[in-house]
Amino acid sequence: MPIYHCQSEQITGCEVLIRCKSHDLQDTRPDVFIPIAEQYDLIQDIDLWVIETTLQTISRVEHSLQSQLPTFNVNISATELHNKQFPKMLLNLLKKYHVRPSALILEITETSLVEVGETSITILYELKKTGVSIALDDFGTGYTAFSQLTRYPVDCLKIDKSFIDSLSQDSDTPKTTINAILSIARSYKLETVAEGVESFDQLSYLREHGCDKVQGFYFSQPLAWDTFLAELKKSNGRINAQQ
């Protein structure tokens, strides 16, 4: 899923999405098979497979794209926040594929932090030591107190789609919430990404109020890798032409 700079509309990254290719499972959505994987203790294997596949992909294109290499956001399960071996496994994979850690962003949901203990916070800091970035996904839905953000080594807040959808309502409440998130992100020097942008009005509002990046159907639906790579090259070409 391409991620765009809010002002320039250049592709700066992507969110890696997992889909079933099997004929029998091709219409099965992640919100169905991920809970099943968690139930049967398969989710950590899926996490590592997605990360390794992503790093393999980055290693193939990193040299050719060089400074235009996008960032790759990978969602990880809350179970990894209790897996003391996860930071070491991640570091080993980064070394194996010779990928710059700055190319990888790990996304954790805000709800996964509601009941974190000291072990989980330690794991987050160990992940940060590898050089990757950490994004807090679905922000605004997990009731995390803004003051708690100082405990977590996060680099980015992803504003949940439900708030973006609500921008079209007559009520000022959604706008107030979004403004508060953008304001607190600036205070903590965190990047912001708005999810689920589907209209020009939504994009205009987010631009006006200082959101950094956006993703959603207004720009693009999820793309196969080859199609994404072609769109990335076109996006970079447009920016270079303007310069």
Q: What is the residue whose two structure tokens read 């990404």? A: 193
Radius of gyration for the chain, computed over Cα atoms and rounded to the nearest angstrom: 18
Q: Per-residue pLDDT tens, the chain, 243 aa: give them.
A: 999 999 999 999 999 998 877 777 777 887 888 888 888 889 999 999 999 999 999 999 988 887 788 999 999 998 999 999 999 999 999 999 999 999 999 999 877 776 677 888 999 999 999 999 999 998 877 666 566 778 889 999 999 999 999 988 777 787 998 999 999 999 999 999 999 999 999 999 999 999 999 999 999 999 999 999 999 988 877 655 555
- What per-residue string of b and e applies to 146-164 under the rule 16 or more CB within 10 Å gives b? eeebeebebbbbbbbbebb
Number of neighbours of residue 198 by Cβ within 10 angstroms? 16
First-residue to last-residue Cα distance in the chain: 26
pLDDT of 143 reads 62
The encoded tokens of residue 106 equal: 């790990």
Please tell me the pTM assigned to this model: 0.92
pLDDT of 118 reads 84
Closest of 130, 129, 149, 131 to residue 139, by C-alpha: 149
Q: Where are the domains of the chain?
A: 4-8+11-242
The partner residues of 4 in beta bridges, in order of sequence, read 11, 214
**Contacts of 191 by beta carbon, 8 Å cutoff, 6+ apart:** 155, 156, 157, 185, 212, 213
213, burial (CB in 10 Å: exposed 0-12, middle 13-18, buried 19+): buried
Report CA-CA distances (Å) from 20 to 27, 29, 44, 58.
7, 8, 17, 21
The encoded tokens of residue 179 equal: 């403004």
Q: What is the residue whose two structure tokens read 């992803």? A: 158
CATH superfamily entry for domain 4-8+11-242: EAL domain (3.20.20.450)
Residue 145 is given by DSSP the state -
